[in-house]
Amino acid sequence: MKKENLEFCFKGNRTYIQGSDIFDAIVSKLASNFNLDKIENIKYSAHKMLKKNAFVLILEKFNPNDYKKINSVITFKNSEKKYYVVVIEDSREIECSVEYSEEIVRSTSAIIDKKIEFKNELEDSLTEIIVSMNKYYLQESVTKDGKWMVTKFDYHNLNDIQNVKGKMISLELKNNFNNKLTKSIVTVDGLVVGNLYFSLI
Domain with residue 146: its CATH number is 3.10.129.10
Of 83, 98, 113, which residue sits at a domain end?
98
CB-based contact 130:169 (threshold 8 Å): yes
Which tens digits make up the pLDDT trace of 144-171? 999 999 999 999 999 999 999 999 999 9
Percent of the chain with pLDDT over 90: 89
| Res 150: pLDDT | 95
pTM listed for this prediction: 0.93
Residue 43 has pLDDT above 90, yes or no: yes
Work out how many domains the chain is built from and give that number: 2
Residue 79 has pLDDT above 90, yes or no: no
Could you give the CA distance from residue 200 to residue 11 in angstroms, rounded to a whole number?
21
Q: Are residues 181 and 127 in the same domain?
A: yes
CA separation (Å) from 39 to 10, 34, 119?
Answer: 28, 8, 27
CB-based contact 72:46 (threshold 8 Å): yes
Of 51, 74, 98, which residue sits at a domain end?
98
Q: Containing domain of residue 23, as a range?
A: 2-98
Could you give the CA distance from residue 66 to residue 2 in angstroms, rounded to a whole number?
16
Percent of the chain with pLDDT over 70: 100
90, containing H or E segment = none
Of 65, 80, 98, which residue sits at a domain end?
98
| Res 1: pLDDT | 75
